Every structure is written in structure tokens, then in C-alpha cells.
Amino acid sequence: MKPLIETPAAIAQATPQELAFSGCWTSRGLGGLQPSLASVRLPSGEQTSADGARIEALDSVGAWLLQKLLRRLRDEGAVVTLTGLRPEFVKLLEVVAQHLGEPDPQTAPVNARRPPTALERVGRAAAPAWEQAVAMLAFVGQTAAALATCVAHPARVRWRPILYNLRSAGVDALPVVGLLAFMLGVVVAYQGADQLRRYGANLFVADLVGLSMLREFAPLITAIIIAGRSGSAYAAQIGTMTVTEEIDAMRTIGIEPMELLVLPKILALMIAMPLLTVFADVLGVMGGMLMAQAQLGVSYGDFLDRFVKAVSITAFLIGVCKAPVFAVIIATVGCFQGFRTHGGADSVGRQTTRSVVQSIVLVIVADALFSVAFSALNL
């Protein structure tokens, strides 16, 4: 029975290996216990006894605080056993332990925490990755089903969102894409200038700049910029709508989020990325041409004559054909991570970061696969 006058909860430590709890471990009796809790320390790796026989009363607050104390001590390496508790207190501690993920205090030495093995760490890291991969595959399937529905019923295609995303992801990205492509062309020509000058092959700077920019650098740098610019925006927009329950409201009134939010972004980016890649090709070649004239003395006319001979239409088409694939990857990953947002604003930032990182990684992996495929096809 709970006493009418509650004795304040207390902790006594007669020896470094012994603890004793006393008093009423209830919401009213725990007021002055915080300093004692912070000062409790037990030797690491040694068997320690915690006597709870003198605990007069225990409620959920006291049980939670007691379990938190035991958890801290075990995390510090102590092997602590709680003994002498009344049966009803033991049951309450077991209930609280289940919610905290703590072992039964009576069997603590058997279930004491131990550092996870290397195999356990690999398994714990692989399980969320596998779950996310399965969820991503399901999301791709839902997107494909929504696309098939729109193809079967063209009236369901939402052209206004497509045009809006085409402007925001395409037209508005022209300055940053053009600037970085131009600087990349300058860097490629500058780095190759010294080596070409040694062998008197100044004119071959057109081959270096043209092939590297058109086949690899222009589509790749464009995809990375769009992943950081538009992919993150997609994740943040959809994530914010998920947190504020706008997605649920859309479903309630009969609007399919896949058709309104996902498909317009994917289709607009598939149109914008090849055009941005061509723009990056032009600016990158211009930057290389400018640096070739400044460093190697190759005139603009000579550069263009050699460029036309060295770079075939196949090299140009290879770079442009990569762009729609990169666009699908960036838009799909950004929207997918946005729909996985839950909680509050911190989750929006976390999913946005994941969308950028995953998009860039998958784009580079796809580019490597393209290189292997084109090499096998002698392209």
C-alpha cells in the first residue's frame, strides 16, 4: 500500500560494488534525487549488486528513472543485478523495460549488453538499405503504372505542372550549367596544354576538349548540378507536403499525387536534361577553345576545323542519350525521398540530403555502365 507520507527516494553506495535504493520512487518522491543519480558510478566489468528491498513505493515514473539509471550503468560497462524487489515492482519494471528495450532486471547478467560483432553491424546496416531498395522498386512500379494510365488517357496529363517544372528545372538552370561547363572546358584545355606542347601536338587540344566534353563531362556535370539543384528541391517540396499532410488531403479529394507531383517532374526533366547537355557542350567547347588560343596559340578557325574532324556525330549523340536516363534517376530519387519524409522539419532536411547523395551516386554508376556498354559495342 502506498504510504500517506512518502519517504523521499534515495540511493546509497556503501562500497564501489554495492548499491541500495530506498524510499518512495514515485513522481512525488523523486524531487531531490537528480544529483544522486548523476553521481552514481560502478566499476566496469565487475559483478555489482543493486538492492531494491527498501523501495517502499514505485510508479511508472520511478520505474522509468530506475531503468534509465541501470541502462547508463550497463552502457558504462558495469554488470549490475537488481535484487530484493517486491513482485509487483518487478512486474512494473518489466513493462517499462519492454518500452525502453531493456532486459529483465532479474536476468540482467545473462542479457547484459555487449558490443555488436562485425557481422551484426553489417546486418544492421544492410537491413535498412534492403528495405529502402524494395521501397524504391515499389515506387518505380507505381510511377510506371501512373505513366501507363496517362498514356492510355491523355486527358489526365497535367501540362501546366510540366511546363512549370520545365522552366524551373531547365530555363532557370541555364546560368549555373553554362558557367560550370565553360569553366570545365577551360580546365580540361589548360591541364592538357602542357603535355600537348611537349610533343608539338597543340592542335590535338580540340580532340581532348571535344571528346571529353561531349561524351562524358557535359552530361555528367549537368546531371550533378541538376541533382543538387532540382532533385533536392523535389525532395524538399514533397517532403514538406507530406509533413503538413497535404499529400493525404490530395488523396482525400481524389487527386492522385503520382500524377500531379511525380510524373510532371520526371517528364519535364527528361525534356530539359538533353537540352541542358547540349548547352553545356557548346559552353564547354567554347571554354576549351578560348584556353587553346591563349595557352597553345591555336586559332579559333584551326580549333573548329580540327574539332569537326575529330568529333563525330556519334560522340555527340552518346552524351545526349545519357541525359534522359540521368533525368529519370534524379527525378525519381528526389520524389521517392520526399514521400519517405515523416516527422518534422529535421526529416525534410535529412531526406533532401539523401536524395542528393543517392542521385549523384546512381548517376555515376549509370555513367560507368554506359561506358562499359559503349565499349562493348565499339562506340
Residues 6+ away with beta carbon under 8 Å from 366: 322, 325, 326, 329
In a 3-state reduction of DSSP, which class is residue 103? coil
Alpha-carbon separation of residue 347 from 55, 89, 168, 265, 275 (angstroms) = 42, 38, 24, 22, 33
- pLDDT given for residue 5 in this prediction: 57
- pLDDT given for residue 183 in this prediction: 94
Residues composing the chain: 379
Alpha-carbon separation of residue 147 from 108, 242, 259, 336 (angstroms) = 55, 22, 8, 16
| Residue 85, CA atoms < 13 Å, CB-side half-sphere | 23
CB atoms within 10 A of CB 34: 10
- Give me the residue label for grid cell 519535364: 268
Give the integer Cα–Cα distance in Å for 252 and 228: 32
- pLDDT given for residue 360 in this prediction: 95
Give the integer Cα–Cα distance in Å for 340 and 337: 5
Q: Would you call 368 exposed, middle or buried from its count of C-beta atoms within 10 A (0-12, 13-18, 19+)?
A: exposed
The answer to whether the beta carbons of residues 211 and 219 sit under 8 Å apart is no
Query: What separation, in Å, do the N-terminal and C-terminal C-alpha atoms of the chain show?
Result: 86
Give the integer Cα–Cα distance in Å for 193 and 298: 11
- pLDDT given for residue 101 in this prediction: 56
Cα 373 vs. chain centroid, distance in angstroms? 29
| Residue 264, CA atoms < 13 Å, CB-side half-sphere | 20
The answer to whether the beta carbons of residues 188 and 288 sit under 8 Å apart is yes
Of 330, 283, 17, the closest CA to residue 176 belongs to 283
Q: Which three cell numbers stand for residue 341?
A: 519524409
- pLDDT given for residue 173 in this prediction: 92
| DSSP sequence for 46-97 | SEEEEEEEEEEEE-HHHHHHHHHHHHHHHHTT-EEEEES--HHHHHHHHHHH
- pLDDT given for residue 107 in this prediction: 41
Of 50, 54, 56, 53, the closest CA to residue 70 belongs to 50
- pLDDT given for residue 24 in this prediction: 82
| Residue 152, CA atoms < 13 Å, CB-side half-sphere | 6
- Give me the residue label for grid cell 584551326: 302
The dihedral region occupied by 263, where left means phi > 0, alpha psi between -120 and 50, and beta the remainder, is: alpha
Of 53, 65, 79, the closest CA to residue 25 belongs to 65
**Regions in the chain scoring below 50 on pLDDT:** 1-4, 102-113
Alpha-carbon separation of residue 257 from 24, 79, 196, 233, 248 (angstroms) = 55, 53, 55, 16, 9
Give the integer Cα–Cα distance in Å for 17 and 285: 75
